[in-house]
Structure 1
Amino acid sequence: NEALERLASFGLSTNMILYLTREYGMDAASGAQILFLYSAAGNFMPIIGAFLADTYVGRYPMIGFGCIASLLGMVLLWLTTIIPGATVPSCAQFSSRCTNDATTPQLLFLYFCFGLMSIGAGGIRSCSLAFGADQLSKRDSLKHAGILESFFSWYYVTSSASVFISMTCIVYIQDAMGWKVGFGVPVVLMILSTLSFFLASPIYVKPKAKASWLIGFARVLVASFRKRRIELSSPDTDELYHHRKGSALVVPSERIRFLNKACVVKNPEEDLMPDGRASDPWRLCTVDQVEELKALIKIIPIWSTGMLVSVNVCQNSFLLLQASTMNRHITSKFEIPAGSFYAFMLLSLTMWIALYDRVIIPLASKITGKPTRLGLKQKIGIGILGSAASMAVLAIIERVRRETAIREGISDIPDAVTHMSAMWLLPFYFLLGFSEAMNGVGLNEFFYTELPKSMSSVASNLYSIGLSAASLVASFIVGNVRGFISEANQESWVSSNINKGHYDYYYWLLSSLGVANFIYYLACSKAYGPCKGGQKGITGDVREGLIDDDDDDDVV
């Protein structure tokens, strides 16, 4: 279900910058900002969907609602290619950019379509993985453990494969057959996704909604605020704290002591019920709940360093414009669609993960004579440097491309194609894939390792929240570059005419921010201290970071 939804949605979004500039008369920067916001909404909505599903409606209704919302949004977007008044009338498909601006009703209808697809993605992606795991109900068997592991593996394989197919096959259909057919194919795929989900409804296991982790965090904050006037005793003084029955955590840690007020029992007769539960969970929380929130707060600085790396990954709109002005012919008759070049990043990502896991780690372990791997914080740092390096490489490539366009006398023609091969972009995608293999995978593993097991759902959503925030940051950077850096009577760095603008300066800016982000990461890493188990780097034992697996209650 989710694989088909991703196939449909990414098939629409990959070439969307061309649709906005050619059919709606938008300049490149405005179109990119809209897509940044659309990406931010698409990555943030699953958080809201997960909260609503876990707390109120359940996962099955949430996925069903998401299917309907996504399908409706895609159908309405497809209609913009059919209804004559939906786009700027004077624009011909795949011709030069529009000279007229879209009207307010046209833009509102377009934004409504994007909004529906974002809401739909939030309903589907927030629950599909967990709902699929719910179907494997025999939790106590070893056979079930193998099936569950296989399910998770195939989930990520199919998700990645669907994105790859959308960036190759669907993009090619859009380039070869036009927008009507190109946007119609995702609609058909979404119809198949919706039908497959609802037709299998009778055989689904449908767990009911229960309290969400967000509610637990909110209770800790509210209880701490309500008890703000309570004076905490010194660490050596005996104080009564409320803890879960059978929990190993009976005393909170000393970091962020203000939150400890949430679990202090001042009057047992009033604060506790006869069975030991809190009489008011919004005034008294358990030590476990307090420590879970502290663990989340502790990793936020390192989580924030991943945002700027994701900003570089979000530059697909500008990269598509760049590739569209370069020679993309493999043979005299076959030309790679500009929107398909991002698939090289996915190939690079897959290659680096396989190379690291199957070649580098076994070879390093053989050389050292013991299990060896990079520490999590080392992987994250290497990924940040790789991301900064990739943008520097892209800036050099763009400068050469721009000079080639000027030398060939086509700088005044935005859609003109230079003789420079688009294959020169591959080193950039190679480095970007390496960065994601190190930083993206490292951050996800870091979240799962450092947060307690009871917060696994939080860990699984942190990276998506980072992608959402990165899209907003990217939109903010583009807005400032367009509004403040360009001088009077000069083209903006991110001009719609890529030959007149200075996208190389824009990429150098991102690279510089990446270097600054690495310095910030070093400070955050030092302040964080050692990871669980004390990872010692490339010669560290492979068991490091896993020693807490047998202790579900250790959240420190």
Structure 2
Amino acid sequence: MIPTSKPNPCNQSTQSCRSPTAAQLAHLFSSFALISIGAGGVWSCSIAFGADQLESRDNSKHQVVLETFFDHVGWRVGFRMPATLIFLSVIMFFIASPLYLKKKPKKSLFTGFAQVIVVAYRNRNLSFPFPNSSERYHHGKDSEIVVPRDKLRFSNKACITRNSEQDIAPDGSTVNLWRLCTIEQVEELKALIKVLPLLSTGIMLSINVNQTRFILIQASSLDRQISQNFEILPASFATFGHIVMVIWVILYDRMILPLASKIKGKPVQLGVKLRMGIGLLLSCMAVVVSAIVEMIRRGNTIQEGNSSDDSAMSCMPATWLVPQYCLLGLAEAFTAIGQTEFFYTELPKSMSSIAAAMFGLGMAVSNSLSSIVISCLKTSEVSL
């Protein structure tokens, strides 16, 4: 849309192309950065914001199909369509804004985490009160927790009161949070530390899912012709995974669970950790299937006499790629939904946005690791 934002077209006669300038690269990368920031803000808040709307106002304690457009119509139209839809969604969001239940932020969670660490270090020489004694532990006015839990006990020293007259105001609030924290702050930090190890499950799944860039290369070299007038685009094969994921979620929630509950005579549900484990197993199976398909593809290519040409077309049907996409779709249905539910239930209500953003954080890390894996593979191919 902006001609100066991209290099001039390549010279077909000399087969030479100009590299993009620093300004053009800055324009491109800043666009990616804005998209990432915007998506991160929406993703991390949308689940928590939607859950807030379902709460009672009176009781606060109630709890890649579009790839076709890029290939056939052009990248300009492909980006213009989602930009238009996002703009319309923003307008609709603000129109309905008066109807939303809005909760004002009370504190900064990250500042609270820093305060707990600093105060716990300052109080490292203090002795712990007697077990189950709440006299020296400081808690909020309406707090249901009066004694911190024993797990990660070293952080409990952040809420030990040294001098109640100096550190606690007449209304029960803390005079200086950098000298004395509440039990709630300590438990929030503990909850975050507790769920961090399980963040790796989403990272491993996303690394496998992000290897679909390699599957695109596979699909580009296979026979994608379904009929005389219809050919599946390489990127459209990911649609099979999305379809399987949606079908499984509907079947699991509306048919399998109700039927199992009816048979057993009590509510039945797979635990979130079990679902994450099943998802990881399915993602590993998808990688194994992908490796088998690649072995068969390379064998066919060698038989056809094109072993020296990596981009040569093979007569092998591209439908061989469908099973691994279906397995990846099932894996994502189990792990992604299970992990999001796990974070949302394990973290306190005040950390709902962080809970919703944890899976996205894992995806961001996995994208970087996936790029490193692909770069290493390319480097090894060149060296060989």
TM-score band (shorter)?
Answer: 0.7 to 0.9
**CA contact 2:347–2:355 (8 Å) conserved in 1:** yes
Deviation at 1:476, TM superposition (A): 3.0
Could you say which residue in structure 2 is the equivalent of 1:303?
199
User: Quick one: distance in 1 between partners of 2:97 and 2:203?
Assistant: 41
What is the aligned counterpart of 1:313 among 181, 200, 209? 209
Could you say which residue in structure 1 is the equivalent of 2:38?
120
Could you say which residue in structure 1 is the equivalent of 2:154?
258
User: Quick one: distance in 1 between partners of 2:33 and 2:285?
Assistant: 35
Could you say which residue in structure 2 is the equivalent of 1:280?
176
Cα distance 1:389–1:407, how it changes in 2: closer, same or farther (>3 A)? same
Alignment of 1:132-143 (within 5 A): 139-140=57-58
User: Quick one: distance in 2 between partners of 1:104 and 1:422?
Assistant: 39
**CA contact 1:394–1:425 (8 Å) conserved in 2:** yes
- Pair 1:423-2:319 in alignment: yes
Alignment of 1:422-501 (within 5 A): 422-483=318-379, 485-486=380-381, 488=383, 490=384
User: Quick one: distance in 1 between partners of 2:163 and 2:108?
Assistant: 28
User: Quick one: distance in 1 between partners of 2:253 and 2:89?
Assistant: 33
What is the aligned counterpart of 1:337 among 213, 218, 233? 233
Cα distance 1:130–1:352, how it changes in 2: closer, same or farther (>3 A)? closer
User: Quick one: distance in 1 between partners of 2:8 and 2:103?
Assistant: 44
Cα distance 1:289–1:473, how it changes in 2: closer, same or farther (>3 A)? same
> SS of the residue aligned with 1:253?
coil
What is the aligned counterpart of 2:283 among 387, 398, 401? 387
> SS of the residue aligned with 1:278?
coil
Cα distance 1:470–1:139, how it changes in 2: closer, same or farther (>3 A)? same
Deviation at 1:420, TM superposition (A): 1.5
User: Quick one: distance in 2 between partners of 1:185 and 1:238?
Assistant: 59
Letter of the structure 2 residue corresponding to residue 122 of structure 1:
G
User: Quick one: distance in 2 between partners of 1:236 and 1:299?
Assistant: 25
Could you say which residue in structure 2 is the equivalent of 1:177?
73
Cα distance 1:122–1:450, how it changes in 2: closer, same or farther (>3 A)? closer
Could you say which residue in structure 1 is the equivalent of 2:19?
102
User: Quick one: distance in 2 between partners of 1:397 and 1:292?
Assistant: 47
User: Quick one: distance in 1 between partners of 2:221 and 2:52?
Assistant: 48
What is the aligned counterpart of 2:119 among 214, 223, 226? 223
**CA contact 2:48–2:353 (8 Å) conserved in 1:** no
Asked which structure has the greater CA Rg, the reply is 2
User: Quick one: distance in 2 between partners of 1:256 and 1:141?
Assistant: 33
> SS of the residue aligned with 1:255?
coil
Deviation at 1:244, TM superposition (A): 1.6
**CA contact 2:306–2:312 (8 Å) conserved in 1:** yes
**CA contact 2:222–2:317 (8 Å) conserved in 1:** yes
**CA-to-partner distance for each residue in 1:448-504, whole Å, 9 max, x for gaps?**
232233332322221111111211222233344444x4573x2xxxxxxxxxxxxxx
Letter of the structure 1 residue corresponding to residue 146 of structure 2:
V
Could you say which residue in structure 2 is the equivalent of 1:240?
136
Alignment of 1:171-210 (within 5 A): 171-194=67-90, 196=92, 200=95, 203=98, 209-210=105-106
Cα distance 1:84–1:140, how it changes in 2: closer, same or farther (>3 A)? closer
**CA-to-partner distance for each residue in 1:232-291, whole Å, 9 max, x for gaps?**
345377751001223231111112111001100011111111111111112211112211
User: Quick one: distance in 2 between partners of 1:259 and 1:102?
Assistant: 54
Moved more, 385-394 or 116-125: 116-125
Letter of the structure 1 residue corresponding to residue 32 of structure 2:
F
Cα distance 1:207–1:449, how it changes in 2: closer, same or farther (>3 A)? closer
Deviation at 1:402, TM superposition (A): 2.3
| Superposition CA RMSD, Å | 3.2
User: Quick one: distance in 1 between partners of 2:146 and 2:352?
Assistant: 22
**CA contact 1:88–1:100 (8 Å) conserved in 2:** yes
For structure 1, the 5+ residue unaligned runs are 1-77, 93-97, 150-166, 491-556
Q: Percent identity?
A: 44
Letter of the structure 2 residue corresponding to residue 86 of structure 1:
P
User: Quick one: distance in 2 between partners of 1:282 and 1:272?
Assistant: 12
Could you say which residue in structure 1 is the equivalent of 2:189?
293
Letter of the structure 2 residue corresponding to residue 446 of structure 1:
F
- Pair 1:404-2:325 in alignment: no
For structure 2, the 5+ residue unaligned runs are none
Deviation at 1:302, TM superposition (A): 1.8
Count of aligned pairs? 380
**CA-to-partner distance for each residue in 1:69-93, whole Å, 9 max, x for gaps?**
xxxxxxxxx53xx55952662479x
Cα distance 1:443–1:236, how it changes in 2: closer, same or farther (>3 A)? closer
Cα distance 1:307–1:435, how it changes in 2: closer, same or farther (>3 A)? same
Could you say which residue in structure 2 is the equivalent of 1:74?
none
> SS of the residue aligned with 1:426?
helix
Letter of the structure 2 residue corresponding to residue 278 of structure 1:
T
Cα distance 1:204–1:130, how it changes in 2: closer, same or farther (>3 A)? farther
**CA contact 1:383–1:434 (8 Å) conserved in 2:** yes
Could you say which residue in structure 2 is the equivalent of 1:86?
7
